[in-house]
Amino acid sequence: MSADRELVSPDAEGDERLIEAALRPKRLDEFIGQGRVREQLSLVLQSALRRSRPPDHVLMSGSPGLGKTTLAMIVAAELGAPLRVTSGPALERAGDLAAILSTLAEGEVLFIDEIHRMARPAEEMLYLAMEDFRVDIVVGKGPGATAIPLDIAPFTLVGATTRAGLLPAPLRDRFGFTAHMEFYEVAELERVLHRSSRLLGIGLPEDGAHEIARRSRGTPRIANRLLRRVRDFAEVRADGVITRELASAALDLYEVDAEGLDRLDRAVLRALLGKFGGGPVGLSTLAVSVGEEPETVEVVAEPFLVRQGLLARTPRGRVATAAAWVHLGLPPPPDAFGANPADDAP
């Protein structure tokens, strides 16, 4: 990912990770927004606690930075259970997963981030572990290979994915509960910002919080990061007070536009309008034209552009809406998507 994506990219590195960890809500009642998910999860957890049984396995899907890791940690904290953390790409061989599963304590929460990127043999081992709390350890090779069954402690799997559609059905079906994480409303992000500013000792007036919140792409991780950049700007260029005007000037400098679109978002829209006349165009062609991987465009940029009503995914390809033309200061063509009420028909 290029350096200029760092500011609004939901990925974080180094010190940023430490600050992120410090800002994570620790319990469900501190977790802001996602009302439906919170209520559903709370029921699942309370009922498990009453029955003194580990709850069903939980799958969380949603864009990067919406709080999936935070919620996984909260699941363990609410259950008073230990948490083991790994990720799909780290589970290349079945043995990698077997080593973890066979050492889980009873009731432990196993969090697998990016679960859609797990290798196939590990995935197959996970099916049995999730359903029967058992793994088959294969000893030997070829026709003489034998599977030795090994019981494992009952545990709860929490899987997180940015691409639920890529999970094979047998895996998806083994989760008792799926939490669909949505982008946050501006008012919710304002609460996230006020909480973070208290924890970081940053003075944040209401109007400054509002300006940062509305440019945060509906994502708490981005809100927290923009807060720190605006704080830097306020301290160096002004008297430290984050007013609306100051937040707006700082975010302009960092190339986050009034709707929260960053450079990649705008590059995607510009390519769609400038090179493909508004589309339809296939994802790979669009990604090549902005010099990014198709997955980055699909996972990082598109969900937000779709949510903002600027881009539509149609069976024929990606299409810019009339609002996208307006956003880039261009007159929409009469046949632009969304300019005609028939586009909304099912």
Ligand X SMILES: Nc1ncnc2c1ncn2[C@@H]1O[C@H](COP(=O)(O)OP(=O)(O)OP(=O)(O)O)[C@@H](O)[C@H]1O
What is the C-alpha separation between 44 and 36, in angstroms, rounded?
12
Binding residues for ligand X, total number by CB under 6 A: 22
Q: How many CB atoms lie within 10 A of CB 169?
A: 7
SS3 168: coil
As measured in angstroms, the least distance from the Cβ of 307 to ligand X is 16
| Beta-bridge mates of residue 148 | 137
- Tell me if 24 contacts ligand X by CB under 6 A: yes
- Tell me if 231 contacts ligand X by CB under 6 A: no
Binding positions for ligand X, 153-172, rule CB under 6 A: 160, 162
What is the C-alpha separation between 55 and 107, in angstroms, rounded?
9
CA atoms within 13 Å, Cβ hemisphere of 274: 10
3-state secondary structure 25-89: CCCHHHCCCCHHHHHHHHHHHHHHHHHCCCCCCEEEECCCCCCHHHHHHHHHHHHCCCEEEEEHH
- Tell me if 32 contacts ligand X by CB under 6 A: yes
Place of tokens 């937040």: 247
- Tell me if 303 contacts ligand X by CB under 6 A: no
Phi and psi angles of residue 8, each rounded to the nearest 5 degrees, phi first: -105, 0
- Tell me if 23 contacts ligand X by CB under 6 A: yes
| DSSP letter for each residue of 288-345 | HHTTS-HHHIIIIIHHHHHHTTSEEEETTEEEEBHHHHHHTT-PPPTT-BTSSGGGG-
- Tell me if 88 contacts ligand X by CB under 6 A: no
Instruction: From 135-143, 165-173, 218-226, 310-318, give the range in contact with ligand X by CB under 6 A.
Output: 218-226
As measured in angstroms, the least distance from the Cβ of 303 to ligand X is 12
Nearer to ligand X, 152 or 192 (CB): 192
Q: Is 83 annotated as a binding residue?
A: no
User: Tokens standing for 110?
Assistant: 């196993």
- For ligand X, the binding residue among 69, 156, 197, 308 (CB under 6 A) is 69
- Tell me if 16 contacts ligand X by CB under 6 A: no
- For ligand X, the binding residue among 9, 37, 45, 70 (CB under 6 A) is 70
> Sign of the C-alpha dihedral, residues 110, 111, 115, 119?
negative
- Tell me if 204 contacts ligand X by CB under 6 A: no
What residues are labeled active site? 68-69, 113, 162, 221
Instruction: From 20-28, 89-97, 247-255, 282-290, give the range in contact with ligand X by CB under 6 A.
Output: 20-28
Binding-site sequence positions: 23-24, 65, 68-70, 131-133, 174, 184, 221, 313, 318
Give residues in contact with ligand X (CB under 6 A). Answer: 10, 20, 23-25, 31-33, 64-70, 113, 160, 162, 192, 220-221, 224
Provide the annotated binding site for Mg(2+).
69
Q: Which residues are annotated as a binding site for DNA?
A: 313, 318
